[in-house]
Amino acid sequence: MSEPSTAARELVAGAYDTHVHVAPDVMDRRIDDLGLAHRCLAVGLAGFVLKSHYVTTAERAAVVRAAVPGVDVLGAITLNGSMGGMNPAAVEIAGRLGARIVWMPTVDSRNQRTSTAGDLPGAKPAMWGALQADLHAQGIVPDIVEVLSPDGRVLEPVRRVLRVIARHDMVLATGHLAAAEIIAVVLAAREEGVRRIVVTHPEFTSQRLPAADQIRLASLGALLERCFTTPHTGKVSWDDMIATIRAVGPEYSVLSSDLGQPFNPPVEDGLALFADRLLGAGFTEAEIHTMAVANSRFIAT
């Protein structure tokens, strides 16, 4: 893929990339966090959130902030089995360390572990799939991290986590939950006082939330995360994602890259490449600025 245009670079200047996967990690990555911080300085990005499916990144983010002044590197935690699942103690510690985002379970969610949805023909598979398969082959299979009871109620451990998120003013991200789970958890989050909610890549293979569900979630105050990698790797068509953004409204979307894989473009190019696509699809500069900069700063600051 070609370099992003100068116009796109300028449009996303000051943005945060709120979803990146970089080294050190348990999988090969294109760049490490220190290197990415320097690259963000060079291209005018404000910062990024370190995403891991397996460990909390809050301590590492603090190290990178100290090492590369001028870039706001933020940590996170994902509530998979390696972090103890729906573990309010882990979220409390992450919050005290300054973590910004708490992802609901991804690889260990019921939806992801039981999904039979297939990628579109020619799509690149997610890198964590091979790691999960290797762990399972060794008999390392954490329990599914449940969020709902059999009758559809949000479980009390989830509510305890939501209360911790609210107390530290962290961001709730919905991970790889299914549509019904997402709606229930978002409603519970509002009841528990969570201020900032992001619906994680709703176009991803195991989720594929219909536009009607996305519109409902936007009406509840959630932002819909549009990840560059989802259409770039062929898991959804660009036309379909663009149509959904229009249906829901750009003011309810936030752009992120989800980059860091060795076979994908440079992480620091993701938001600008996304902006070029949206410019080509007829979105205005103001709409793209809202999605890339204003909404990412609402999440990150």
* Residue whose entry in the numeric block shows the structure tokens 């979307």: 253
Close Cβ partners of 282 (under 8 Å, ≥ 6 residues apart): none
Task: Give the percent of the chain with pLDDT over 90.
Answer: 98
Please check the confidence at residue 196 and state whether its pLDDT lies above 90: yes
Q: pLDDT tens across 1-56, in order?
A: 689 999 999 999 999 999 999 999 999 999 999 999 999 999 999 999 999 999 99
Would you call 263 helix, strand, or coil by DSSP? coil
Provide mean pLDDT across the span 276-291: 98
Please check the confidence at residue 86 and state whether its pLDDT lies above 90: yes
Q: How far apart are CA 254 and CA 231, in angstroms?
A: 15
> By CB neighbour count within 10 A (0-12 exposed, 13-18 middle, 19+ buried), where does 230 fall?
buried
Provide mean pLDDT across the span 215-236: 98
Would you call the peptide bond into 150 cis, given omega within 30 degrees of 0 as the criterion? Answer: no
Sketch out the chain's domains with CATH numbers.
6-116+129-300 (3.20.20.140)
Mark out the alpha helices in 192-294 (DSSP H runs).
211-219, 229-232, 238-248, 270-280, 285-289
Would you call 172 helix, strand, or coil by DSSP? strand
Would you call 78 helix, strand, or coil by DSSP? strand
Per-residue confidence (pLDDT) for residue 247, from 0 to 100: 98
